[in-house]
């Protein structure tokens, strides 16, 4: 009995410490200055240091840790259930979940309370007239037309640039956006392709940044035409940008300012899709005029993209999207996943300034 009480006192102490941490963190979140110091002077250097260590191996350390943790957890749960230690199992699982959440808050949640990319650059997401939206959409359509035939394609006309070549160009291709926005001066590290990419597609993810290892992880099963821009998106996270819509904007801008035509095509294509979808909702006639100029090669890429993602419609996608939407809202993004659409306003804010 004494051993049992002593063991649970340790659990109570740790859970109590976690409660204190969450209270203190919530109080610190009220101060942008405190979050800026914690995020950019303490956490980001640590994450980049860990990322450099993980960058010494080609595989994703994040993926290895995630799968290892899952197997260890399954094994532990199985053992505790066989021993019928239900109370101990429940307390331990709560303790593990709270500890992981506390680490996530410290390593990534701090950036949600710090200065955003817009606050650092002075760039403001803004609306625009239909004519302005059409003008920026036409500009991106022109970029698609210019670079669609400069990328390698298969016999069917589909984007066929080897993924290894895209990864090899990642760090160099990101330098253009750093010149455009000097606040993005932090070094970026080579992104990692994921073995579990197919599973990621089922969850409706094209990649993720793993703060515990400082790695930008990318889905290499999804259509490759968007891979360059997706890589730039994840590299933006690696620099401490938490907002998804801001990373989408940075990803597009990094791609279209790259010297690599493959990256430029990808960036213009993704930007065109965001803008064209917005234009379609307000002026279908103008949308049709602009779309009619899109080359056949790009239309093939877009059709393949739609077909690929359509196969994953189902409960797994719904659950994962709902969970991530809740995560975004819990970190102060009231629109949740809807914030992804704000990239249109950021593009308008930049090109109409």
Q: What is the pLDDT of residues 246-303, one digit of tens each?
A: 999 999 999 999 999 999 999 999 999 999 999 999 999 999 999 999 999 999 999 9
For position 320, what pLDDT does the model report? 45
For position 316, what pLDDT does the model report? 46
Residues facing residue 218 across a β-bridge: 193, 207
Q: Tokens representing 316?
A: 């797994």
Strand 192-193 to 207-210 pairing: unpaired
Specify the 3-state DSSP secondary structure of 346. Answer: helix
For position 347, what pLDDT does the model report? 95
Q: How far apart are CA 121 and CA 28, in angstroms?
A: 24
For position 91, what pLDDT does the model report? 87
DSSP state string for 191-256 = -EE-TTHHHHHHTT-SEEEETTTTEEEE-SSS-GGGHHHHHHHHHHHHTT---HHHHHHHHHHHHH
pTM: 0.89
Q: Which DSSP letter does residue 259 get?
A: S
For position 235, what pLDDT does the model report? 97
For position 315, what pLDDT does the model report? 55
For every one of its 353 residues, what pLDDT tens digit does the chain have, with 9 covering 90 and above? 444 455 566 667 888 889 999 999 999 999 999 999 999 999 999 999 999 999 999 999 999 999 999 999 999 999 999 988 888 898 889 999 999 999 999 999 999 999 999 999 999 888 888 999 999 999 999 999 999 999 999 999 999 999 999 999 999 999 999 999 999 988 899 999 999 999 999 988 999 999 999 999 999 999 999 999 999 999 999 999 999 999 999 999 999 999 999 999 999 999 999 999 999 999 999 999 999 999 999 999 999 999 999 998 755 445 444 544 554 455 454 554 333 368 999 999 999 87
The string over 177-208, giving b where at least 16 C-beta atoms fall within 10 Å of a residue's C-beta and e elsewhere, is bbeebeebeeebbebbbbebbeebbbbbbbbb
How much of the chain, in percent, has pLDDT values that exceed 70? 89
Give the mean pLDDT of the chain: 89
């Amino acid at each position: 009995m004494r051993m049992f009480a002593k063991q649970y006192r340790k659990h109570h102490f740790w859970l109590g410490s976690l409660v204190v941490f969450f209270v203190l963190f919530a109080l610190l979140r009220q101060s942008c200055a405190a979050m800026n110091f914690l995020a950019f002077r303490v956490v980001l250097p640590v994450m980049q240091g860990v990322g450099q260590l993980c960058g010494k191996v080609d595989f994703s350390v994040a993926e290895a840790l995630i799968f290892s943790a899952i197997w260890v957890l399954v094994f532990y749960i199985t053992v505790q259930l066989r021993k019928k230690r239900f109370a101990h199992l429940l307390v331990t699982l709560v303790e593990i979940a709270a500890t992981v959440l506390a680490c996530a808050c410290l390593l990534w949640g701090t950036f949600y309370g710090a200065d955003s990319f817009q606050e650092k650059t002075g760039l403001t997401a803004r609306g625009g007239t239909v004519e302005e939206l059409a003008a920026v959409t036409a500009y991106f359509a022109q970029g698609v037309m210019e670079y669609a035939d400069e990328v390698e394609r298969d016999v069917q006309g589909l984007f066929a640039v080897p993924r290894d070549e895209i990864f090899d160009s990642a760090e160099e291709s990101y330098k253009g956006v750093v010149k455009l926005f000097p606040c993005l001066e932090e070094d970026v590290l080579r992104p990692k392709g994921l073995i579990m990419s197919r599973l990621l597609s089922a969850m409706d993810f094209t990649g993720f940044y793993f703060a515990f290892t400082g790695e930008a992880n990318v889905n290499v099963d999804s259509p490759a035409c968007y891979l360059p821009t997706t890589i730039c998106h994840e590299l933006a996270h690696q620099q401490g940008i938490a907002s998804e819509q801001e990373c989408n904007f940075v990803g597009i801008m990094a791609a279209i300012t790259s010297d690599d035509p493959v990256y430029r095509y990808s960036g213009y294509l993704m930007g065109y899709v965001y803008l064209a979808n917005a234009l379609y909702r307000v002026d279908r006639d103008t949308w049709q005029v602009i779309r009619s100029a899109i080359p056949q090669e790009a239309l093939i890429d877009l059709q393949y993209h739609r077909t690929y993602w359509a196969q994953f419609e189902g409960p797994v996608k719904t659950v994962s999207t709902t969970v991530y939407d809740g995560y975004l809202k819990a970190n102060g993004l009231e629109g949740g996943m809807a914030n992804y659409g704000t990239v249109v306003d950021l593009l308008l804010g930049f090109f109409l300034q």
